[in-house]
Amino acid sequence: MKQVAERVKLVKVEDIAKDFGKTVRIGELEIALFRLKNGEFYAIENRCPHRGGVLVEGLISGQHVFCPMHDWKIDITTGKVQEPDHGCVKTFEVEVDGDDVYLLLP
């Protein structure tokens, strides 16, 4: 049986400019919601696996965000840290419906 996700409205599409991010809190969960240059939205855990840097404050380049503390490069679409560093952050499914952006929580 397929598990139904909880759909949580986060923001309006126009609330986040392209190549920018926004911190979103859902209970104890802190998420970095990014809108890439191509207009697509992605959501990842808002802490770098290295030293806990706040990723939404990092520089976005393509589909990567650079941790503002130590410049670790993290793929926003997969959560994977680029080598030679290692680690990953949790990713979350995002859905755009009309003008609204939703997070799908399992």
Give the list of residues 6+ apart from residue 20 with CB closer than 8 angstroms, or none: 34, 35, 60
Are 72 and 81 in contact, with CB atoms under 8 Å apart? yes
68 is written with which tokens?
């503002």
In the structure, what pLDDT confidence band is assigned to residue 94 with cuts at 50, 70 and 90?
very high
Q: Which residues contact 65 (CB under 8 A, 6 or more apart)?
A: 21, 32, 34, 44, 55, 58, 59, 73, 74, 76
Domains defined along the chain, listed by start: 6-105 (2.102.10.10)
**C-alpha distance across the termini of the chain, in Å:** 13
Q: What is the pLDDT of residue 50?
A: 86
Q: 32-55 pLDDT, tens per residue?
A: 999 999 999 999 999 988 888 899
Alpha-carbon span 24 to 33, nearest angstrom: 7
Q: Predicted confidence band at 88 (pLDDT cuts at 50, 70, 90)?
A: very high
> Are residues 51 and 84 in contact, defined by beta-carbon separation less than 8 angstroms?
no
The tokens describing 46, both together, are 């808002």
Q: For 82, how many CA atoms within 13 A lie in the half-sphere containing its CB? A: 13
State if pTM tops 0.85: yes
Residue 88 is encoded by which pair of tokens? 């990953």
